[in-house]
Amino acid sequence: MTEPPRPPGAGDPGAQPEPPSAPYGSSSANEPPTAPLSGASAGGGYPPPGGYPPPSGGQPPSGGYPPPGAGYPTGGSYGPPPGYANNDEKTWAMVAHFGGPVGVVVGGSLLGWVAPLIAFSAKGQQSPTVRAHAVAALNFQVTWVIAVLISFVLAVITCGVLFFIPIIVAVIPIVFGIIGGLKATEGVLYRYPMSYSFVK
């Protein structure tokens, strides 16, 4: 029968058993002691709880460290958007401006006035801000629907020689409607150029 294997140095008369390894963070007799981290307590070399760096003097500020997230609004609400009383007003103002270009693209240049009219009818009596945005967008889109119709008539009368005029006229309400919508996102009422005041 064979003998089971022995641990190293177990049966040799001149061999010394190895000392057990010291746990992490403590020093053995043969190793120099390790210094704790800067500003940390001597109990293990860890920084203070909370994830904040220690002050230069090694002592916490009077009153202790601030709680995590201090100084920021709670609940995810940062107040109403600038230029509006609430988010609902901003949404309807953007519908009035951005809805014009969408109506022009979808309706073939003749439906740009629909979205501003919807915003005017839905919230115009409740919010003066939405009313101002909707009236500005509605007047501009109605003006350019009339311009598109006139340019189309001119193209027909000239037997297609001026075919490019309705195309150019149809692009203008798209471009300025997008500009008005971008201004509305910043809380600014955009004054449309080349617009007649049909609605006050």
Predicted local distance difference test score (pLDDT) of residue 194:
87
Predicted TM-score (pTM) of this structure: 0.58
Q: What's the gap between Cα 73 and its chain centre?
A: 16
Q: What is the mean pLDDT of residues 96-113?
A: 85
Predicted local distance difference test score (pLDDT) of residue 147:
92
The mean pLDDT of the chain is 76
Instruction: For residue 181, count CB atoms less than 10 angstroms from its CB and return exposed for 0-12, middle for 13-18, buried for 19 or more.
Output: buried
pLDDT bracket for residue 119 (50, 70, 90)? very high
Predicted local distance difference test score (pLDDT) of residue 143:
93
Q: Does the pLDDT of residue 76 top 60, yes or no?
A: no
Those residues with Cβ within 8 angstroms of residue 199's Cβ, 6 or more apart along the chain or in another chain: 120, 135, 138, 139, 142
Residues 122-158: pLDDT tens digits? 998 899 999 999 999 999 999 999 998 999 999 999 9
End-to-end alpha carbon distance in the chain: 111
56/37 Cα distance (integer angstroms): 13
Task: State what percent of residues in the chain have pLDDT above 70.
Answer: 60
Residue 108: enclosing H or E segment and its boundaries? none
Predicted local distance difference test score (pLDDT) of residue 199:
85
Task: State what percent of residues in the chain have pLDDT above 90.
Answer: 36
Q: Does the pLDDT of residue 46 top 70, yes or no?
A: no
Predicted local distance difference test score (pLDDT) of residue 175:
93
Predicted local distance difference test score (pLDDT) of residue 40:
46
Q: Does the pLDDT of residue 94 top 90, yes or no?
A: yes
Inter-CA distances, 163 with 84, 152, 160, 166, Å: 43, 8, 5, 6
Q: What is the mean pLDDT of residues 64-72?
A: 54
